[in-house]
Amino acid sequence: MPQVITDEKLIDEILERGVEQIFPDKKTLKEKLMSGERIRLYCGYDPTAPSLHIGNAVTINKLSQFQKLGHEVIFLVGDFTGMIGDPTDKTATRKKMTRKEVLKNAEDYKKQASGYLKFDGENPAKIMYNSEWSDKLSFKDLIELASKFTLQQMIDREMFKRNLAVVKCRYCGFEWKSPIQFGTIENFKSSTLIGNKTNCPNCGKMTGMDKEDIVMKELDRLRETPIAFHELLYPLAQGYDSVAMNVDLEIGGNDQMFNMLAGRTLQKNINNKEKFVMTLKLLSDETGKKMGKSEGNAVFLDQSPEDMYGAVMSWTDGTIAIGFEMATNIPMEEIEKIKEALKDEKNNPRDFKMKLAYEMVKINHGEEAAQFAQENFIKIVQKKEVPDEVKEEKAKNGEKLVDFIVRAKLAESNADAKRKIEQGGVSIDGEIIKDIQTVISEEMNGKILKVGKREFRKIIIG
C-alpha cells in the first residue's frame, strides 16, 4: 500500500488552492488527512463529447494532488449518467445519448487525463464506469433512493430557476439590467469584477459595476423550456455513485454542489458514513463566463500543442492568475508574485499569458512540445510569418472559397466562413480576401491560404 503523506503544508495547499467550499467543513477533512488514513476519493466525467476540456482538467489536477499524497483516486466515467444528461447550468433538456455513443466518446479519456493523473506506477488511479452498478438498480431501488429527497428540493435548484443580474447605482439606488449576465448564482459567486464603471440611466452619474454593485435576483418563473422528469432523477444517479464506491470524498466544480451533496445524503443514509464534498472554483473570465466553445476560448485536452497554446493566448488578461492557480502546479508563492506583477502597468500581461500557455502545454504534451508551440506562436502570430510546414489541401478549380474553408475545417459553417472573410480574417499569399463570392482558380495553385491568426493551408488544385 502506498505511503500516505501527512505534511501539513502540502495538505493546507490542497485544501485551499482553487477550493470554493468543503462540506461539512475544512477542519474535519484536514484532521482526517493529517491522521494518516488513506481515503478514497473521486470525480465523475460524463462522456457527452469525445474531448475532455480545461474545466475537467481543473478537477483532474486536484485528484492528482491527492494521488501524490498517497490517497486512492478514482476517475469515474459516467457511461450511465451520461445517457441521462446532467441538467446543471443548462437552459434546455440535454439530448439523451446511447451507451454506444457515450463509450465511443470516452475512448481517449484515459490518454487525455494522463497529463495530470497517473494510471500506472506505485499508486495508480482507477478507472471505473457507473453502469457497473446503476444498470443493476431495480425500480424498487429507484423508489427507495427517491424517498430520501423531496420534489421541492429537486425543483428549487438554481439550474431550474431564472436568475437576473441587475446593477444598483451607488448614488441614487436605481436598478437596471446588467449588461453582464451570469446564468446562475454560483457562477456569479465565482466571478471577479474589478474596476468596471458605467453611467446610471436614472441620475446620469458615473457609478461602479463591480461585484458589490450587482445584485442577483431570482425570478418567479422556472426556466422557459420544460423540465423533463428524468432531469430530476439525475442527482439520484450521481449520488448513488458515492454509495456504490463507498467513497470518503467527492470533488467537482461548484456548479455540481447539489449533485455532490445528494451523494453525501445517500452515503449517510445507506452506508452510515460521512462523505466530504469539495467544490472548486470555476475557471472563468473576469465577467464570470466559464471557458467554453461558445465563447471561443475553450481548451481541449486532445488539442495539438500549437492549438492548445494558441487557445490559451486567446484568453482575457483577467484569466491569467486563476489559470495558473487552477490548471497548473506552479507553487502558490510564485502565483502570488505573478498577481502582484500583473498590477504593475509596466509589465505586459501577454508575457505571463505565454508562461501560462507554456505550462499547460507542458503538462499535457511535454516540455519539448511546449517549447515548439511557443516558438511557433511567436513566429506565426507575433512575427506574422508562415510556418515551415503547411498542410496541403486539395481544391477544385471553380470551387467557392467559402466551401473550401468549411471543407478544410477552418470554419464551422458557411456563415462562419463568410463572417471571417468579411472581417478581413482570410488572406491568400498575404492578400486579404473580402469578397465572399471568391472562387478557387488555377492561379491560386500552391499559394498559402491563411484563416485567422494561426490557420494555414497550401492550396493544391486537382
Encode pLDDT of 211-242 as tens digits: 888 888 765 544 455 667 777 788 899 999 99
Please report how many Cα atoms fall inside a 13 Å half-sphere around the Cα of residue 316, on the Cβ side: 16
Range list for CATH 3.40.50.620 in the chain: 8-152+228-280
Encode pLDDT of 80-108 as tens digits: 999 987 655 444 455 778 999 999 999 99
**CATH number given to 303-382:** 1.10.240.10
Please report how many Cα atoms fall inside a 13 Å half-sphere around the Cα of residue 116, on the Cβ side: 27
The reported pLDDT for the residue numbered 92 is: 46
Range list for CATH 3.10.290.10 in the chain: 392-461
Q: What are the phi and psi torsion angles at 326 (to 5°)? A: -90, -35
List per-residue pLDDT tens for the chain, 462 residues long.
Answer: 889 999 999 999 999 999 999 999 999 999 999 999 999 999 999 998 999 999 899 999 999 999 999 999 999 999 999 998 765 544 445 577 899 999 999 999 999 999 999 999 999 999 999 999 999 999 999 999 999 888 777 766 555 555 678 889 999 988 888 877 676 666 677 666 666 778 888 888 888 888 888 888 765 544 455 667 777 788 899 999 999 999 999 999 988 888 999 999 999 999 999 999 999 998 876 666 666 554 556 799 999 999 899 999 988 888 999 999 999 999 999 999 999 999 998 999 999 999 999 999 999 999 999 999 999 899 888 887 877 778 899 999 999 999 999 999 999 899 999 999 998 889 998 889 989 999 999 989 989 999 988 888 999 997
For residue 283 the three cell numbers come to 475557471
Instruction: With CA atoms as reference, report the closest residue to 356 among 403, 308, 415.
Output: 308
pTM summary value = 0.76
- Residue tagged 506562436 (cell numbers): 377
Range list for CATH 1.10.240.10 in the chain: 303-382
The reported pLDDT for the residue numbered 381 is: 82
The reported pLDDT for the residue numbered 412 is: 87
The reported pLDDT for the residue numbered 60 is: 97
Encode pLDDT of 364-393 as tens digits: 999 999 999 999 899 888 887 877 778 899
Distances (CA, A) of 309 to 281, 336, 355, 362: 23, 23, 10, 10
The reported pLDDT for the residue numbered 91 is: 46
- Report H helices in 301-400: 305-313, 320-327, 332-343, 349-365, 367-377
Instruction: With CA atoms as reference, report the closest residue to 370 among 415, 321, 306, 310.
Output: 306
* CATH superfamily entry for domain 8-152+228-280: HUPs (3.40.50.620)
Q: What share of the chain is helix, strand, coil (3-state, %, to 5)?
A: 45, 20, 40
Q: Calculate ∠ Cα 360-88-142, nearest 5°.
A: 120
Which uninterrupted H or E stretch holds 174? Answer: none
The reported pLDDT for the residue numbered 314 is: 86
The reported pLDDT for the residue numbered 217 is: 73
Instruction: With CA atoms as reference, report the closest residue to 42 among 239, 266, 247.
Output: 247
Cα 402–chain centre separation: 31
For residue 353 the three cell numbers come to 499569458
Instruction: With CA atoms as reference, report the closest residue to 451 among 400, 395, 380, 382.
Output: 380
Burial of 280 (0-12, 13-18, 19+ CB in 10 A): buried
- The residues with which 430 forms a beta bridge, in sequence order, are none
Rg for the chain, CA atoms, rounded: 25
For residue 170 the three cell numbers come to 451607488
Q: Is the peptide bond before 2 cis (omega within 30 degrees of 0)?
A: no
Distances (CA, A) of 242 to 42, 85, 121, 130, 245: 9, 18, 25, 10, 5
**CATH number given to 392-461:** 3.10.290.10
The reported pLDDT for the residue numbered 38 is: 98
The reported pLDDT for the residue numbered 382 is: 83
DSSP string over 120-159: SSSSPPEEEETHHHHTT--HHHHHHHHTTS-HHHHHTSGG
3-state secondary structure of 84: helix
Encode pLDDT of 115-159 as tens digits: 999 999 999 999 999 999 999 999 999 999 999 888 777 766 555
